[in-house]
Structures are given as structure tokens and as C-alpha cells.
Copies of this chain bind each other. A is one copy, B any other.
Amino acid sequence: MGCLDSMRECCDRPKNTNIRISFPAVCFVWQTAMIILFGVFVRYDKESDTHWVEYKREKNITSDIENDFYFRYPSFQDVHVMIFVGFGFLMTFLQRYSFSAVGFNFLIAAFGIQWALLMQGWFHSLDYTDGKIKIGVESLINADFCVAGCLIAYGAILGKVSPVQLMVLTLFGVTLFAIEEFIILNIIHARDAGGSMVIHTFGGYYGLSISWVLYRPNLEQSKRLHGSVYHSDVFAMIGTLFLWMFWPSFNSAITGHGDGQHRAAINTYLSLASTVLTTFAISSLFQKRGKVDMVHIQNSTLAGGVAVGTAAEFMLMPYGSLIVGFCCGIISTLGYIFLTPFMERKLKIQDTCGIHNLHAMPGVIGGIVGAITAAAASTEVYGTEGLIHTFDFTGTFQRRSPTVQGGYQAAGLCVAIVFAIGGGIIVGCILKLPIWGDVADEHCFDDEFYWEVPEEEESLHPVLEYNNHMMINKRTDRVESNFSEPQT
């Protein structure tokens, strides 16, 4: 009881955003750990090792062009752009949180990919002959994918957490992701080329659960910064467009060589095109005078890419992709209009970027579409070899029928949701500890607390100089006043 009280008391202490010790410490210690673990565990795989020339001869490979590098590297670079520029700039829409959006996205992605190479390596590419993880270009893509889950979660809590909390979120997020992915892809043997379930459903509900635990009752005190300005919206469109354009590469990056990658790219291209039209339509329909809302265009236009992820490599057919995109544009935009306010008011889930509409819901739809498409697969459509090849019905799974596969796809979706919500609540509780340097409710969505922010262009607007000066003083006062108490 006394323990609980002291816990509560501890949580109620005024917030201290000084992370001068904790933040560098976390970065240094974790990066050092990465170096040690990589030293013990990680080596190049056959195709990136200097022994490739011997391996090639052994396997009768006639040309260097058959190195997996040339199948996947262009897609890898597109995915890489999505992770760093796409996700980073998508979140720059807030008027005074662009540094944190793009900067902390950069930080946690750079940490996450290293940890993901290890976690995914232990589960997927451990060479039992020498106990080493062998990495190649496909490992890099998978690491980027894994990190995407955490970046999605960042979207829900954007503006409300400290970089230290983000590092913790990423550490646990990547760990949970690797386990969940292993269960879904290897044990259940569900297919999930573009990660509708594994990445988007997981990342979405993981972030929402954390946001629910970290509920901030007085967030409306930060309302003045909880919006965009003209140019921050244009910056966000950079993120939107790079995500939208490269999504075909995302969904096709790790599908089968040849027709698999080809078909996944086509399906995603079509689904995304369709989503754009229904997003504009719904956005215009629900606004006064038919005006379009930038928030919807920035986000809901991407829902089609999420929802086509699982089924992208299947014979979804071009019109099937268009239908998926059509529905997701509608659902996602309606989500922004009706569901997000409802969730904030009634369910106490504050979702800064609306990831529920962009990732969680479309991810679930993607999982369901995948299950249905798999269950409906037939040798008439796929061809005998094509069916085996597409669903990898080999080894212990060679007797599985498409209908049964459909069931397992659905099971995979459930695993993703369970891991996301369960993991999210636990991680949320960890992040609620008052040691991570997060800001007070009235100081959310402000770069001021974690970044050296340039003063406004005084010399160019001499009129403003005096006022700016006053403002800055005021702001500094405000900051300082929080810390007259003894610090942790």
C-alpha cells in the first residue's frame, strides 16, 4: 500500500525533461551492446562474402547478375526511403514538431534496424553449423520492415514522449515483432508479403495500446500547437508521396523472384491509385462547401497500400486490387472524420497521426482480404506449380490446401493483434514510469524541449524583434519554472 502510494506520488512529480544523462547513456550503452552482439553473431552470407566466386562455381551460377543483390537492391532502396523520408516527413505536419518528427524517426529507425538484424537473425537466418547469423540484402529489407512497426507506433504518441521513451518503445517493439513474425510466418506458415498483419496491424495496435496507457487528460492545454501551418503541411506531403510511390516496392521487396515481385508491384500500384479517388471524394463530401482536408490526403491515400499487403503476391486480379483500394479510401477517411474523435473522447486513446485509420484498420482489412484470397485459390487460376510456389506448399506444408491456408491466414491476424495489444499495454506501463523525461501535458507537440530551436528571423522582420524577444523570454521562463523543484 505504501509502495503504491509512493509509486503514485512518484508519477505525480512535476515533469523534468532534462535527459542529458539518460539519453546519451541509452544511446552509448545500447550501441556498444550492438557492436558486441554483432561481433559474436553476425557475418556476411554466401552472396555478400568474398567466397561468392567459389560458391558461384559450385552451384553452376553463370553470371554475377543472379546474385540476390540485383533482384532486391532497387526495392531495398525504395523501402529505405519510405522508412526514413516517408515516415519521417509524414509526421512533420505539426507546426512546431518537425524536428522531432523527422529527427527522432531517424534515431529510432537507425537503432531499430540493428536490433532487428539480430532478433530476426536469431529466428530466421541462424546458421546452425557455426552459430552465426548470415546477413544479405534481404536481411536489410526485413530489418527496415521490422522498424516500420515501431515507426507506426510512434505516430500514435507523436508529440507526447521523450526520445528515451522512443528508444525503449523501439527496443521492445522490435523484440515483440520478431517473435510475432516468427510465429505467423514460420509456425503458422501464413503468407504476408507486404506485412498487412505482421507490420501494420501489429504496429498500429501496439502504438494505440501504448497511447491508451499513457493517456494525457489535459492534452487540450497543448491545443495551440496541435495543428499544422501551411508549409508544414507541404513538408508532410513529401512523406506521403514517397510512401505512396514506393509502396509497390515495399509490398514486392521480399516476394518470390520473377512473377512474384512483378505481380505484387502491379497490385499495389492499382490499389493505391483507387484509394486516392475515394479519399478525395469522402473528404470533400463531409466538409462544408466540398473543401478537401489535407489530413485525409496525407494519410488515407496510403490505406490501399496497407490493405493490399498480404494479398499482393496472390492472384488478386487487377480489379480485386482496385476494390480493396476503393473500400480502404472510404473507411480510412471516415475513420479520421468520426472514429478518431470518438476514440479520444470515449476510449481515452489519443492518436496524434491517426494511425488507427492509416495502419491498424487497413491492416486488419488486409489480413482478411489475404485470408479470403488464399482460401479461394485454385489450380485453375494459379496452375499447379504456381500454387505451390506462391503459397510455398513445400516441406511439412506440402499437403496444406488453399482453404486451410485461408484459416491459418486468419489465425495469423489474431496473433498479430494479441501481440500488439498485450505488448503495447506492458510497454505502456514501463513508459509510464516517471524517469524517462517526457513533457508535461501543456508542453506537448513542442520541439523546444528536446531541440535547440533557431530563433525566428529577427533581422528580416525587425518589427517582430521586440515581441519575439519577449516570447522567447516568456518561453524560457515557462520552461525553467518547471524545474525549480529538485531534479531527479
Contact = CB atoms under 8 A, between A and B. Distances in A.
B259 A53 contact: yes
Contact of A266 (B22, B62, B135): B135
A64 interface: yes
Contacts of A284: 19-20, 23-24, 27
A367 B199 CA distance: 40
B65 A35 contact: no
A293 B452 contact: yes
Interface string A45-70: 00111111110100000111111111
A290 B19 contact: yes
Contact of A48 (B18, B229, B263): B263
Contacts of A127: none
Contact of A318 (B30, B38, B98): B38
Contacts of A461: 464, 467-468, 471
Contact of A278 (B31, B67, B98): B31
Contacts of A106: 241, 244, 276, 297, 301
A176 interface: no
A211 to B, nearest CB: 23
B92 A318 contact: no
Given A71-B70, A285-B24, A452-B293, A259 B49 contact: yes
Interface in A255-288: 257-259, 261-263, 265-266, 269-270, 272-274, 276-278, 280-282, 284-285, 287-288
Interface in A271-327: 272-274, 276-278, 280-282, 284-285, 287-294, 297, 301, 315, 317-319, 322-323, 326
B452 A229 contact: no
B84 A318 contact: no
A382 B51 CA distance: 7
23 contacts: A24-B285, A24-B290, A35-B326, A48-B259, A49-B315, A50-B259, A52-B262, A54-B385, A70-B71, A74-B74, A98-B230, A106-B244, A107-B277, A111-B276, A114-B274, A135-B266, A136-B266, A137-B262, A225-B459, A229-B454, A229-B457, A234-B235, A292-B452
Rank and list the top 8 A-B pairs by shortest CB-CB distance, nearest first. Answer: A50-B386, A20-B290, A52-B259, A64-B258, A110-B276, A27-B281, A64-B257, A224-B459
